[in-house]
Amino acid sequence: MATSMVKLMLFSALILLSLQAVVSVTPLHFQHPLDPLTKQEISLVQTIVQNKYPSSSNRLSFHYIGLDEPEKDAILKWESIKPTVITVPRKALAIVIINSQTHEILIDLKARRIVSDNIHSGNGFPTLSVDEQVVAIELPLKYGPFIESVNKRGLNLSEVVCSTFTMGWFGETKDRRTVRVECFMKESSPNIWVRPISGLTMVVDLELMKIVQYHDGGIIPVPTADNTEYRFSHQNPPFGPRQHSLATHQPQGPGFQINGHSISWANWKFHIGFDPRAGIVISLASIYDLEKHKSRRVLYKGYISELFVPYQDPTDDFYYKTFFDAGEFGFGLSTVSLVPNRDCPSNAQFLDTYVHAADGTPLLIKNAICVFEQYGSIMWRHTETGIPNESFEETRTEVNLVVRTVVTVGNYDNIIDWEFKTSGSIKPSIALSGILEIKGVDIKHKSEIKSDQHGILVSANSIGVYHDHFYIYHLDLDIDGVANSFEKTSLKTVRVTDGSSKRKSYWTTEVETAKTENDAKIILGLSPGELSVVNPNKKTSVGNDVGYRLIPAIPAHPLLTDDDYPQIRGAFTNFNVWVTPYNRTEKWAGGLYVDHSHGDDTLAVWTKKNRDINNKDIVLWHVVGIHHVPAQEDFPIMPLLSTAFELRPTNFFERNPVLKTLSPPDVQWPGCPK
Ligand SMILES: *[C@@H]1O[C@H](CO)[C@@H](O)[C@H](O)[C@H]1NC(C)=O
Ligand SMILES: *[C@@H]1O[C@H](CO)[C@@H](O)[C@H](O)[C@H]1NC(C)=O
Ligand SMILES: *[C@@H]1O[C@H](CO)[C@@H](O)[C@H](O)[C@H]1NC(C)=O
Ligand SMILES: [Cu+2]
């Protein structure tokens, strides 16, 4: 009886879950002005552009179709007056290559008309489309000189798989939309990335869609397929270690509600947007203050603006590998479906989303985002042993909310989490998995290495090339209001020289408020201190400015020289922290057109204006980096490597905001005696 009851409950929970999924894809809810474009809206963009530029007489491909975000003022007004009273413009931006020219087409979705249509004339090209890459990777298989190279190596052409790689920019003045194509051997293992056919240079012109440059630098053995398999169904025993199930059982159901793309959970409310380029976008995050009886804004908008991955091998095969994954390939376009029970725990709920194909057709990404609660550590505790005969303990369980997506760009998988804590912290984290980019070499053992191989021999004939992963977060914090300041609190040693203490030294703090952008360019390192965004117009009852502190990720600094082309393009990595005044168009830290970019539209360039940031609407940028010296454990597939930072309230609340929190009720497992 009890079990069938449980089954019934589970069954209805499943129905609820699937209903939730349906709700998320059909616009039954009231549309939020920050909601990602719907399937219908993407189709509308496609139709409007095709009507102006009929495909019978024009060659067009869509490289971006996304929400043209309303001005912040409009959103804030909408939010305060409530949705039914005020309408916010609903516009889409389409970046379309029409007859080899890049158009920025702004479309009013309500009026169903083109607002503006401008041709981009600066440097750089839009995000690549998946469709053109699919065509480009087929070209070598029909290209005589390549077939000859394959035959010369005794390889089977039917087992060759190719992939596209953006070319970067190395000072050329004449630019064409080109990509490099490299090929790999499939054969008995699907792990193509560790089996490159090295030594070939192939360049495809994407406008002409043909191979325009080819060079065979000589035969280098393709690494063996042995021990490169990672699919469970194709592996051989022994298996292990064994893992035991760990179900999260939520007898009262989930503690969060999803309404369209708006989430409410515990004391938090926020909106989940999605962009073909940025992927997941967290907006309008506010926390309810139990004492002030109101919701207080923390984050207006947060997302990953760019990911820069420069490889550190200067030779012909690799020098150009200086990727900008968000701008060149699109984090949204590269978002993959999450696997229930594996990528996200069994209590997760999923959101679907739409992106677009090169012809403008909407494409569904099922289970693109998951939301779930998980146990954290202890929220707070104390065991009191100091009161005679009255020892006791008070302890609170921490349950956090996680929003997760996975972005797979070629060989690498980026696990992107936004974790919310009831204590007021937001903890964004990045974790990497997937497969190393391997360079084939004629070396089977370390003892044969005579010169710098620019990486680590992770397997016979396989160099895992040195590289970095630099993510830059755009964090438009609005701490209890829009006007904020950026503060650096330095911890300084003070020497006692006047004999007033038995101590010879102590430390104290020194606070500086950044006046302009230059004051806020921070290289994190040895000098201890705290970085915070405060609202100088709002004070706590004892007079502190309300604020949020950045507890940064382990700092990573670029090692390339400032005059090196990739570093000019990726100059947003020059500092770990930057602050800019809010500007709706300054979204992409590496520039809007980052493929073949010249670095003339980066965060480093914008901030040269050294604008005023004191008591203004400001945006915090944080670079989260990983220097990757590969190791054998990263082969043939890499266990998660992660880094995180925290945005933590600092004098934002009057006291511990979870002082009166309720721990979750103890779980009585069905069928278990009490
Ligand atoms: C080449 O690969 C194809 C497809 O896997 C296979 O059918 C064929 O037998 C292979 N040819 C040789 C010569 O091994
Ligand atoms: C604590 O308990 C012990 C034993 O029950 C008793 O002897 C002692 O007087 C108590 N101390 C106080 C401060 O109450
Ligand atoms: C916003 O940023 C763009 C790009 O940096 C700049 O051209 C424009 O002048 C800025 N607008 C304002 C109001 O500062
Ligand atoms: Cu790496």
Residue-wise pLDDT for 51-62, tens only, equals 999 999 999 999
With residue 496 as reference, give the H or E element that holds it: none
Ligand 3 atom closest to the CA of 584, numbered from 1: 1
Give yes or no for a cis peptide into 221 (omega within 30° of 0). no
The finding on whether 530 has its CB within 6 A of some atom of ligand 1 is no
Q: Give the pLDDT score at 7.
A: 34
The tokens for 564 are 């090196």
**Closest residue CA from atom 7 of ligand 2:** 389
The tokens for 622 are 């944080």
Confidence of residue 317 (pLDDT cuts 50, 70, 90): confident
Say which amino acid occupies 590.
Answer: G
Q: Give the pLDDT score at 12.
A: 38
Q: Give the pLDDT score at 405.
A: 98
**Closest residue CA from atom 3 of ligand 2:** 389
The finding on whether 159 has its CB within 6 A of some atom of ligand 1 is yes
Q: How much distance in Å is there from the Cα of 582 to the middle of ligand 3? A: 9
The finding on whether 585 has its CB within 6 A of some atom of ligand 1 is no
- In the residue annotation, 325 being an active-site residue is answered as yes
Q: What is the pLDDT of residues 367-415, one digit of tens each?
A: 999 999 999 999 999 999 999 999 999 999 999 999 999 999 999 999 9
Q: Hey, which residues does 269 pair with through a beta bridge?
A: 264, 286
Closest CA to 181 of 155, 147, 205, 208: 205
**Closest residue CA from atom 14 of ligand 2:** 389
The finding on whether 12 has its CB within 6 A of some atom of ligand 1 is no
Ligand 3: which of 72, 578, 583, 607 to mutate, judged by most atoms within 8 Å of the beta carbon? 583
Q: Is the pLDDT of residue 25 over 50?
A: no
Where helices occur in 251-362 by DSSP H, the ranges are none
Confidence of residue 15 (pLDDT cuts 50, 70, 90): very low
The finding on whether 389 has its CB within 6 A of some atom of ligand 2 is yes
Q: What is the pLDDT of residues 541-568, one digit of tens each?
A: 999 999 999 999 999 999 999 999 999 9
Ligand nearest to the CA of 455: 4
The whole-number average pLDDT for the span 458-477 is 97
Q: Which residues, in sequence order, are CB contacts of 607 under 8 Å at separation 6+?
A: 517, 518, 521, 578, 580
Closest CA to 327 of 472, 431, 117: 472
CA distances from 355 to 40, 274, 277 (A): 11, 9, 10
Q: Out of 35, 325, 413, 468, which one is annotated catalytic?
A: 325
Say which amino acid occupies 200.
Answer: L
**Closest residue CA from atom 11 of ligand 3:** 583
The finding on whether 154 has its CB within 6 A of some atom of ligand 1 is no
Say which amino acid occupies 371.
Answer: V
Q: How much distance in Å is there from the Cα of 604 to the middle of ligand 3? A: 14
Confidence of residue 612 (pLDDT cuts 50, 70, 90): very high
Ligand nearest to the CA of 634: 4
Ligand 1: which of 153, 159, 186, 189 to mutate, judged by most atoms within 8 Å of the beta carbon? 159
User: Pocket residues for ligand 3 (CB within 6 Å)?
Assistant: 583, 585-586, 606
**Closest residue CA from atom 5 of ligand 2:** 389
**Closest residue CA from atom 12 of ligand 3:** 583
Closest CA to 202 of 134, 136, 157: 136
Q: Are the CB atoms for 485 and 614 separated by under 8 Å? A: yes
Say which amino acid occupies 478.
Answer: D
The finding on whether 387 has its CB within 6 A of some atom of ligand 2 is no
Q: How much distance in Å is there from the Cα of 393 to the middle of ligand 2? A: 19
Q: How much distance in Å is there from the Cα of 638 to the middle of ligand 4? A: 9
Closest CA to 602 of 618, 580, 624: 580
List residues, by chain if needed, whose CB lies under 5 Å from ion ligand 4. Answer: 628
- In the residue annotation, 288 being an active-site residue is answered as no
Q: What is the pLDDT of residues 526-539, one digit of tens each?
A: 788 999 999 999 99
Q: State the pTM of this model.
A: 0.93
Closest CA to 618 of 518, 484, 519: 484
Ligand 2: which of 385, 387, 389, 391 to mutate, judged by most atoms within 8 Å of the beta carbon? 389
Q: Are the CB atoms for 340 and 623 separated by under 8 Å? A: no
Q: Which residues, in sequence order, are CB contacts of 9 under 8 Å at separation 6+?
A: none
Measure CA 645 to chain center. 13
Strand stretches in 138-208, DSSP E: 160-166, 178-185, 200-205
The finding on whether 585 has its CB within 6 A of some atom of ligand 2 is no
Ligand 3 atom closest to the CA of 583, numbered from 1: 1
The finding on whether 447 has its CB within 6 A of some atom of ligand 2 is no
Ligand 1 atom closest to the CA of 158, numbered from 1: 2
Q: How much distance in Å is there from the Cα of 251 to the middle of ligand 3? A: 51
Q: What is the pLDDT of residues 176-221, one digit of tens each?
A: 999 999 999 999 999 999 999 999 999 999 999 999 999 999 999 9
Q: Give the pLDDT score at 669.
A: 74
Ligand 3 atom closest to the CA of 609, numbered from 1: 5
CA distances from 317 to 30, 183, 321, 454, 516 (A): 52, 12, 9, 12, 43
Confidence of residue 247 (pLDDT cuts 50, 70, 90): confident
Place of tokens 């009720």: 665
Say which amino acid occupies 242.
Answer: R
Ligand nearest to the CA of 617: 3
Ligand nearest to the CA of 161: 1
Ligand nearest to the CA of 611: 3
Q: Out of 320, 412, 466, 471, which one is annotated catalytic?
A: 412
Closest CA to 434 of 629, 638, 632: 638
Ligand 2 atom closest to the CA of 388, numbered from 1: 13
The domains of the chain, with CATH numbers, are 22-119 (3.10.450.40), 130-232 (3.10.450.40), 265-650 (2.70.98.20)
Q: How much distance in Å is there from the Cα of 627 to the middle of ligand 4? A: 7
Q: What is the pLDDT of residues 77-133, one digit of tens each?
A: 998 886 666 678 999 999 999 999 999 999 999 999 999 999 999 999 999 999 999
**Closest residue CA from atom 6 of ligand 1:** 158
Rounded CA gap, 207 and 176, in Å?
8
Q: Give the pLDDT score at 83.
A: 62
Average pLDDT, the chain: 93
Q: Are the CB atoms for 357 and 365 separated by under 8 Å? A: no
- The DSSP letter of residue 37 is P
